Amino acid sequence: MNQTLADEDRMYVLTEPKDSDRNISCFKSGRQIWQIEAAPKIHARNYFTSVYMRDNDLYAYCINGIEVLVSKDSGKFLKTELIK
Q: Residue 67 sits in which domain range?
A: 3-82
Based on the structure, what is the number of domains in the chain? 1
70-80 burial, b at 16+ Cβ within 10 Å, e below that, comes to bbbeebebeee
Sheet with strand 66-70: strands edge to edge: 48-54, 57-62, 66-70, 77-82
Q: For residue range 40-54, what is the model confidence (pLDDT) as tens digits?
A: 888 888 999 999 999
What CATH number is attached to the domain comprising 27? 2.40.10.480
Q: For residue range 58-79, what is the model confidence (pLDDT) as tens digits?
A: 999 999 999 999 999 999 999 9
pTM for this model (two decimals)? 0.91
